[in-house]
């Protein structure tokens, strides 16, 4: 039977993970078996650069944290070696980076994830990963707004030009007569 000190440490780990999950914009569970050290180093560097927290944790501890955080449905995906990646700010970053590495590394696979208080299966996480970044979406929206405004400005300018042409001809006609 584990000592009270060890149980207390585990309880603190679970509570800390649950708190991070509750405040995270999104998170992804991945199968973490057979990955090479060089691949793991590259993965962790990419995650760090994107501001994504990443940890390999016991499934029982992760499962308890899922229950506390309100993601109890994710417990069904906790088998084998599992790692979790979470972002506090960007809901797309963990899915995008994990999908990128899952495509590159055969033994590395996405299991599930969470976003906006809901649990996603593997297909849901991959769909989320296909979503363009916030900057790209803002750029597309601004482009579409600008094209509408440019179209409106061109119509107004054509109307003004047409009225000016008609006004010049009308002004010249009485002078010739």
* Four-CA torsion 24, 30, 35, 37, nearest 10 degrees: 10
- Distance (Å, rounded) from C-alpha 162 to C-alpha 167? 9
- Distance (Å, rounded) from C-alpha 99 to C-alpha 92? 11
Q: In residues, how long is the chain?
A: 177
**Domain ranges, residue 59:** 4-131
* One domain for residues 125 and 137: no
> What is the model's pLDDT at position 169?
53
> What is the model's pLDDT at position 164?
86
Q: Do 111 and 29 contact (CB within 8 A), yes or no?
A: yes
Alpha helices in 117-133 (DSSP H): 122-129
* One domain for residues 67 and 105: yes
* One domain for residues 160 and 104: no
Task: Extract the tokens encoding 114.
Answer: 């969470």
Tally of structural domains, the chain: 2
> What is the model's pLDDT at position 177?
46
* One domain for residues 127 and 140: no
> What is the model's pLDDT at position 129?
87
> What is the model's pLDDT at position 165?
83
Indicate the pTM of the whole model: 0.71
Q: Which residues pair with 114 in a beta bridge?
A: 27, 119
* One domain for residues 37 and 51: yes
Q: Starting at the earlier edge strand, list the strands of the sheet with 26-31.
A: 52-56, 82-87, 26-31, 109-115, 118-121
Q: For 61-93, what is each residue's pLDDT tens digit?
A: 999 999 999 998 999 999 989 999 999 988 889
List, for the chain, all residue ranges whose pLDDT scores fall below the cut of 50. 170, 177
* One domain for residues 143 and 103: no
> What is the model's pLDDT at position 148?
79
> What is the model's pLDDT at position 145?
81
Task: Extract the tokens encoding 74.
Answer: 């994710």
């Amino acid at each position: 039977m584990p000592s009270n000190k060890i149980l207390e440490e585990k309880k603190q780990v679970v509570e800390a993970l649950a708190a991070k999950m509750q405040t995270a914009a999104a998170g992804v569970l991945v199968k973490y078996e057979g990955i090479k050290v060089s691949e793991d180093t590259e993965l962790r560097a990419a995650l760090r650069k994107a501001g994504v927290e990443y940890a390999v944790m016991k499934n029982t501890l992760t499962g308890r944290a899922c229950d506390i955080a309100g993601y109890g449905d994710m417990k069904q995906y906790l088998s084998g070696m599992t790692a979790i990646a979470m972002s506090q700010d960007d809901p797309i970053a963990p899915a995008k980076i994990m999908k990128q590495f899952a495509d590159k590394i055969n033994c590395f696979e996405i299991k599930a994830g969470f976003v906006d208080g809901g649990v996603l299966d593997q297909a849901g996480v991959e769909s989320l990963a296909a979503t363009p970044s916030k900057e790209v979406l803002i750029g597309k929206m601004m482009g579409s707004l600008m094209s509408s405004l440019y179209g409106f400005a061109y119509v107004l300018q054509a109307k003004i030009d047409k009225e000016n042409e008609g006004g010049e001809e009308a002004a010249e006609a009485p002078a010739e007569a």
